[in-house]
Structure 1
Amino acid sequence: MSSAAVQPVHHNGHHHHTQTGWLRASVLGANDGLLSTSALLTGVAAGQAGTHALVLAGIAAWVAGAFSMATGEYVSVSSQADTQAADLETEAHAIRRNPELELLELTHIYMQRGLDEPLARQVAVQLMEHDALAAHARDELGLTEVATARPVQAAAASALAFSLGAIFPVLAVLLAPAAMLLPVLYVLTLLLLASLGALAAWAGGASIWRGAARVLIWGALSLGATTVIGHLLGTAVG
C-alpha cells in the first residue's frame, strides 16, 4: 500500500441546499421591497395622488423599508452571534475542566452516527488533539463557518436586496404615463414576483411553476387590497 498522503476528492455533484440559504434571504428581501413598495404606490395612486406625491411616497417606502430590514436583520443576527459566543465559551470551559468527559461525549455523538465504539473514540481523540473546541462546536453545537452569524454583512445584504426590489416600482412612477401607472405597476410587479419565485424554486430544485404561482397569487391579492383601500379612502377624503 502506498504511503503517499491521501489527496482530497472532489466531485461534480450539485447540492441545492448549499445555495438556498443566501438565495432565499436575497429573494425574500427583494420580494419584500418590490411588493411592499408597489402595494403602497398602487394604493396611493388609486387615491388619485399626483406624481410628486407618488414619487415621495415611493422613495420614503424604499428608504424606510431598507433601513427597517437592515435593523431587524442586524438585531436578530447580533442576538444569534451573542448566543453562539456564549455557547462556545461554555464549551471551552467544559473542555478545560474535564477533557475526558468531553471526549466521551464526542465519542457517543460519532457512535450515534454509525461508527463502532473503537473507531468513534479514535476519531474523537484525533479531532480533539487537532482542535477540541472546533470539533465540539461543529459536531455537538452544530456551529460551522457557513452558519457563523455576521450581523453587519446580514444587515447590508438585507437592505441591498430590499432596495433591488423597491427600485422598480419607483422607476415605474417616474417613467410611466400617469394614465397608465396602475396597469404598469400591476404588470411589472407581478412579472418580477413570478421571476423571483421561479428563481428561488429553481435554485432549491423545486417546480418553478409552483414557485412562481405562489408569489403571483399573494402578490395579486396584496395589490388588489391596497388598490381598493386607496380608491375608497381617496373617494371619501375627496
Structure 2
Amino acid sequence: MSTRMNWLRAGVLGANDGIISTAGLVVGVAGATTSRAAILAAGVAGLLAGALSMAAGEYVSVSSQRDSERAALDRERRELVEEPEAELEELTDLLAARGLSRDLAREAAVQLTERDALRAHAGVEFGIDPEALANPWHAALASLAAFTVGALLPLLAIVLPGPSERVPVTAGSVAAALVLCGVVSARLGGAPAGRAVLRNVAGGALAMGVTYAVGTWLGTAAGA
C-alpha cells in the first residue's frame, strides 16, 4: 500500500508539472500571436520536451537509487558470510531499539536470520526488500505518462477555442485541474486541502500571468 501511494503521489505531481509548465508556455505564446499553428507547435514541443525530460530525470534518479540498494545488499551478503555473529548481534540491537526486550529481540533476530538472513537484515537496517527493488523503467514511463496527461489539458484548452476565448478558457481549465491536483495530493499526504489548493492555483496563475505578460510584450515589440 505504501509503495502504491508513493507511485500515485508521484503521478499526481507529474501531472501537476505537466499542467503548469505547458499552460505557462502556451499562454505565453498566445500573448505573442493569435496563430493557432504557432501555439500548437509550441505546445506540442513543450509537451514532448517536458515529458521526455521528466522521464529521463526519473530514470537517472531511480537508477542511482537502485545502484545504491544493490551495493548495500552486496555488502550485507558479504558481511553475513564473513561475520555472521556480528551481524546477528547488530540485528538484535536494531530490533531492541524498536522497543523489543533484549531477549525477545535476540529470539526474533535468530528466527529472522534462519528464515531469510539477507531479507531480514536489509529490511530492518536499510528498509530494502531484495525482491522488490525500484525499477527505473517503471518510474520513467510513469512520469512520462503523468506529465503527458497533465500537459494535454492546457494544450487542448488553448487550441480549440477562438482567439478571444483561448486565454480565459485555458486559465479556467487549468485552475480547475490544479484544484483537483491539490486536493488529491493533500489527501494522499494526509494534509489539509486548503493550503495545498491555494499554493497550487497561485503557482499556476503566477506562471500563466508572467508568461502571458512577457509574450504580449514580445509580440508587441516584434510587431512594432
When normalised by structure 2's length, the TM-score is 0.95
State the partner residue of 2:158. 173
1:1-238 equivalence runs, <5 A: 20-144=5-129, 148-238=133-223
Alpha-carbon deviation of 1:208? 2.0
Alpha-carbon deviation of 1:176? 1.1
Deviations 1:123-178 (A, max 9, x none): 00000000000001100112137973110000000000000101111212331112
Q: What letter is aligned with 1:23?
A: L
Alpha-carbon deviation of 1:72? 0.6
Deviations 1:54-85 (A, max 9, x none): 01111111111111100010011001111110
1:144 counterpart SS class: coil
Q: What letter is aligned with 1:168?
A: L
Alpha-carbon deviation of 1:181? 0.5
Does structure 2 retain, via aligned residues, the 8 Å contact 1:55–1:174?
A: yes
| Partner Cα distance (1:181, 1:141) in 2 | 51
Distance 1:74 1:35, change over 3 A: same
Distance 1:49 1:175, change over 3 A: closer
| Partner Cα distance (1:217, 1:173) in 2 | 20
Q: What letter is aligned with 1:88?
A: L
| Partner Cα distance (2:17, 2:117) in 1 | 42
Unaligned runs of 5+ residues in structure 2 are: none
> Relative to total residues, which structure has the larger helix share, 1 or 2?
2
Does structure 2 retain, via aligned residues, the 8 Å contact 1:19–1:203?
A: no
RMSD: 1.6
| Partner Cα distance (2:131, 2:113) in 1 | 21
**Count of residues in Structure 1 that have an aligned counterpart in Structure 2:** 223
Unaligned runs of 5+ residues in structure 1 are: 1-14
When normalised by structure 1's length, the TM-score is 0.89
The percent of aligned pairs where both chains have the same amino acid is 46
Does structure 1 retain, via aligned residues, the 8 Å contact 2:27–2:158?
A: no
Does structure 2 retain, via aligned residues, the 8 Å contact 1:26–1:157?
A: yes
Alpha-carbon deviation of 1:49? 4.2
Does structure 2 retain, via aligned residues, the 8 Å contact 1:127–1:135?
A: yes
Q: What letter is aligned with 1:149?
A: A
| Partner Cα distance (1:222, 1:228) in 2 | 10
2:129 counterpart SS class: coil
Does structure 1 retain, via aligned residues, the 8 Å contact 2:122–2:130?
A: no
